[in-house]
Amino acid sequence: MAIMRRVLGGFFILNLVFCCRAAVIAAEPANTVPVPGVLVPARLFSTRGGLGYAQFCAECHRLDGAGAKGIFPPLSRKTAGAMPNGPAAQTETSSQLFTMPSFGVLSDRELSEILGFVRKSWGNDAVPGVKEFRQNFGNREAEASGVKVPRLANLLAQTKGAQLVRGMRLLTETKSMLPENVGSELNCASCHLEAGAVALASPFTGVYASFPGYSPRAGRVITIEDRINGCFIRSLNGKPLAVDSPDMKAIGAYLKWMKGTGSSKGKVVGRGVGKIDRALRPNVQNGQKVYATQCAACHGKVGQGLIAADGRYIYPPLWGDNSFNIGAGMARTYTAAAFTKNNMPIGLQANFPLGQGGLSDQEAVDVAEYFSHQPRPDFPKKANDWPKGGRPGDARY
Ligand code: HEC
Ligand code: HEC
Ligand code: HEC
C-alpha cells in the first residue's frame, strides 16, 4: 500500500515539476537571514513553530528546509501532496524507501505551530493542515513509556530564553558557529540527536545533575565543562572551549535547563546510548555489506558524508579526516553498535522521532566494527587516558 502510494506519487510529481517550475521558483524563500553556513528563516529560532521544526523535522528536512536529494523531500518548495522521493530513494547504493516517522505524540497545537512555520517561512501553501497531515502520515503509537521528551519550543518562555536558544544552537550548528573549536565536520547534535532530546542518543536530559562526577577515563572528578570539552577534543576532533566564555556558559545554561525536562526523580531515563551484548563477535565482511545497503545512501560510499554542491555537509561523515578521532566514545565498537542499533538508520519506520531502528544486534555490531575501525584522526593525548585502570576492552588504544 505504502509502495503503491509512492509509485503513484512519483508519477504525479513528474507532471507537477514540469508544469509548475515557474511557480516553484517564485515561491522560493522570502525572509531568510544569513547564518554562517546555512540560510534559515529568521523565525526559526524566535517562534515556537520554528523551534518545533528545528527539533522534530530538521534532522531529515534540514534547518534550511532543503531536504536531501533523493532521500528526504524539500519543504522549502511546493512539492507537497506527492511523494517526489519515494521511487527516487532507490539509488544505486540503496534499496531503501524512506518514510516519515509517526508524529502521533505531538499535540495538535504543536503540529499546527510547526506546519504554520513551514507554510509561512517558505511560502509553501501546499503544506497540509493538522488533520490532513495526520491522515497522510499516520497517527500511531504513544510516546515510549517513561521518556518525557523535552520541547525546545518551551525555551522561549524562559527568563534567559535568548541565552538558552544560543546554547541549543551551539549544539546543532557547532561547526559553523565555532569553527576554531571544531576540527571535524560534525556538530554536537550529529550524535546527541535533536540537541540532546532523544533517549539513547546520549540525551542531555538530567545529566547536568551528575556532574561534577568521577570519570575513569580521566582518573579524577570532572566538571560538566570538562565533559563538554572531552567531546570537543575527541568527538569533534577540535580544541577545548574556554570555560568562562559566553559560549560555554550558554551551553551550560541549556544543559541545566534540560535537567528539569526529561529526568524523573534524579534518574535520567534513556541516558547514554544503550547497551549491546559484548559477547557478540563482529563480522566485518557482513558489516561492510550492511554499510552499503543501510548507511551509504546518507553517509556516503566511503564514509565521507553527504555533501551538497556548495560544499555544505547535509549528513555527517563516519570516517576519514573530517570524522571523530580514535579517542571518541563512538570509535569504540560496542558504543558505536549501541548508538547504531537505537538510532540508525533513520526514516525507515514509524518510530518516533526519527523512524529509526531495524537492525538486529548482530548487524549493529558488524557495521559498527566496520565503520569505527576505518581510518580516522589520531588522538595525541591518548597516553593520558585511564591512568588508574578501567580501560574498556573495545578502546582503540
Ligand atoms: C526521519 C525523517 C523525517 C522526519 C524527522 C520528518 N520527515 Fe517529513 N518526510 C520524510 C520523508 C521520507 C518524506 C517523503 C514522504 C513519504 O514518502 O512518506 C516526507 C514528507 C513530508 C511532507 C510532504 C512533502 C512532499 O513534498 O510530499 C511534509 C509536508 C513533511 N514531510 C513535513 C514534516 C514535518 C512538519 C516534520 C516534523 C514534524 C517532518 N516532516 C519530519 C521524512 C521525515
Ligand atoms: C561523534 C559523536 C559525538 C559528538 C559529535 C559529540 N558527542 Fe558528546 N558523547 C558522545 C558519546 C558516545 C557519549 C557517551 C555516552 C555514553 O556514555 O554512553 C557522549 C557523552 C557526552 C556527555 C556526557 C553525557 C552523560 O550522560 O554523562 C556530554 C555532556 C556531552 N557528550 C556533550 C557533548 C557536546 C557539548 C558536544 C559538542 C561540543 C558533543 N558531546 C559532541 C558522542 C558524541
Ligand atoms: C536516511 C539517512 C541516514 C541513514 C540511512 C543512516 N544515517 Fe546515520 N545519521 C543520519 C543523520 C541525519 C544523523 C544525525 C546528524 C545530523 O542531523 O546532522 C546521523 C548520525 C550518525 C552517526 C553519528 C554522527 C557521525 O557522523 O559520526 C553515526 C555514527 C551514524 N549516523 C551511523 C549510521 C549507520 C552505521 C548507518 C547504517 C546502519 C546509518 N547511520 C544510516 C542519517 C542517516
Task: Provide DSSP, 107-174.
Answer: -HHHHHHHHHHHHHHTT-TTS--HHHHHHHH----PPPTT-----GGGGGGSTTHHHHHHHHHHHHSH
Q: How far is the CA of 111 from the centre of ligand 3 (A)?
A: 25
288 and 186, same structural domain?
A: no
- Domain-ending residue, one of 232, 262, 292: 262
For a pocket test of ligand 2, which of 168, 181, 182, 235 has the largest count of ligand atoms closer than 8 A to its C-beta?
235
User: Tell me, what's the pLDDT at 262?
Assistant: 54
State residue 6's pLDDT score.
37
Neighbouring CB atoms inside 10 A of 201's CB total 23
Residue closest via CA to ligand 2's atom 39 equals 188
339: domain CATH number is 1.10.760.10
Confidence of residue 102 (pLDDT cuts 50, 70, 90): confident
Name the pLDDT band for 40 (thresholds 50, 70, 90).
confident
Return the pLDDT at 10. Answer: 34
Mutate to test the pocket of ligand 3, among 298, 339, 341 (most ligand atoms within 8 A of CB): 298
Number of domains in the chain: 3
**Residue 19: inside a domain, yes or no?**
yes
- Average pLDDT for 196-217: 93
Q: Is residue 65 part of a domain?
A: yes
Selected residue with higher pLDDT from 363 and 78 = 363
Sequence letter at residue 212: P
Q: Which tens digits make up the pLDDT trace of 280-304?
A: 999 999 999 999 999 999 999 999 9
Q: What distances in angstroms separate CA 296 from CA 111, 333, 356, 362, one per listed residue? A: 31, 19, 15, 19
Q: Is the CB of 346 under 6 A from ligand 1?
A: yes
Residue 289: partners with Cβ closer than 8 Å, 6 or more residues away: none
Whether 133 and 70 share a structural domain: yes
Domain that holds residue 214: 157-262
Percent of the chain with pLDDT over 70: 82
For residue 395, is it within any domain? no
Last residue of a domain, one of 228, 262, 296: 262
pLDDT of residue 92: 46
Of the candidate ranges 28-37, 291-300, 326-335, the one whose mean pLDDT is the lowest: 28-37
Is pLDDT at 359 greater than 50 in this prediction? Answer: yes
Is the same domain home to 80 and 179? no
State mean pLDDT over 151-162: 95
Residues 86 and 198 reside in one and the same domain: no
The pTM for the full model equals: 0.90
Contact 281, 333 (CB under 8 A): no
73 pocket-lining for ligand 1 (C-beta < 6 Å):
yes
Which pLDDT band, with edges at 50, 70 and 90, does 171 fall under? very high
- Tell me, yes or no, whether 394 lies in a domain: no
Q: When comparing pLDDT for 309 and 333, which is higher? A: 333
Q: What is the whole-number distance in angstroms between the Cα of residue 75 and the centre of ligand 1?
A: 8
Going by pLDDT thresholds of 50, 70 and 90, the confidence category of residue 141 is: low
